[in-house]
């Protein structure tokens, strides 16, 4: 009897729209569908640490960095460490990953608070891509994860030549500009609040004791990055 129940559950799960969409997106058949459902669940849909994608995002970030590092190491055998580090940073940049996440269709599969208009245009889809990579790694192992990243991310979406001329780390660029010009610059957490059940951090860029740019995001890292972008525009730094 238990076997029959399990078979029926498995049958309907494999016939679900999510399952079929995942097969198309991933290029292989998922084994543990629950892992992928978790990877596609944003904390705005479930705030429990074990029932949203943040832990898988943490794992996926590490796996993605390692596989991208391996790819660059093999592809560019004569390039120095600085070049490899810079290119890896550009590939795993939040905006780059978010763009890829949207392109492969994660927005239509994710569970998140769609009434929150900020989330619709945020970087959660890049974070979900990392969580998806974490799920693939647990479900299928390193080799399948590496194949997925190569065939579904690197080949269709990553143009190394284009990235070479792209300045991604605007925070470091801003700090470098301040040091070069003898300016006192710092990033300050102006406010930490809860909006619709989730934390939001407001970070300001302070130049010579004056706030020149502010930005808000669901974590301090993203808020600092966006604030740095705004400061770069304000100061007209090329």
Question: Are 77 and 88 within 8 A, CB to CB?
Answer: no
From CA 154, how far away is CA 22, in angstroms rounded?
19
Tens digits of residue pLDDT in 79-119: 888 788 878 888 988 888 999 999 999 988 888 766 665 66
CB atoms inside a 10 Å sphere around CB 154: 19
The yes-or-no answer on residue 114 being catalytic is: no
Distances in whole angstroms, Cα of residue 192 to Cα of each of 5, 11, 100, 119, 221: 48, 46, 29, 17, 13
Given 61, 86, 139, 222, the catalytic residue: 61
- The model's pTM is 0.67
Given 37, 57, 86, 130, the catalytic residue: 130
- Domains of the chain (ranges; CATH) run 2-164 (1.10.1520.10), 170-235 (3.30.160.20)
Residues 6+ apart with CB under 8 A from 13: 19, 33
The yes-or-no answer on residue 121 being catalytic is: no
Question: Are 154 and 208 within 8 A, CB to CB?
Answer: no
- pLDDT at position 112 is 73
Tens digits of residue pLDDT in 58-87: 999 999 999 999 999 999 999 888 788 878
- CA dihedral of 73, 79, 85, 88, whole degrees rounded to 10: -60
Instruction: Tell me which of 172 and 140 has the higher pLDDT.
Output: 140
């Amino acid at each position: 009897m238990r076997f029959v129940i399990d078979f029926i559950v498995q049958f309907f799960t494999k016939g679900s729209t999510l399952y079929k969409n995942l097969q198309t997106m991933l290029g292989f058949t998922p084994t543990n569908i629950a892992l992928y459902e978790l990877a596609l669940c944003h904390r705005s849909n479930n705030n429990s640490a074990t029932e949203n994608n943040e832990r898988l995002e943490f794992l996926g970030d590490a796996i993605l960095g390692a596989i991208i590092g391996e790819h660059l190491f093999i592809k560019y055998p004569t390039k120095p460490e600085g070049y490899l580090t810079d290119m890896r940073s550009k590939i795993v940049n939040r905006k780059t990953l978010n763009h890829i996440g949207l392109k492969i269709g994660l927005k239509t599969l994710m569970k998140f608070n769609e009434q929150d208009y900020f989330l619709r245009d945020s970087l959660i889809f890049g974070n979900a891509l990392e969580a998806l990579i974490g799920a693939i790694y647990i479900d299928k192992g390193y080799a399948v994860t590496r194949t997925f990243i190569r065939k579904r991310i690197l080949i269709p979406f990553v143009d190394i030549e284009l990235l070479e001329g792209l300045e991604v780390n605007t925070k470091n660029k801003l700090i470098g500009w301040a040091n070069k010009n003898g300016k006192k610059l710092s990033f300050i957490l102006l406010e930490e609040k809860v909006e619709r059940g989730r934390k939001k951090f407001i970070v300001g860029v302070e130049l010579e004791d004056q706030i020149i740019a502010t930005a808000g995001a669901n974590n301090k890292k993203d808020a600092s990055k966006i604030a740095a972008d705004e400061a770069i525009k304000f100061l007209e730094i090329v």
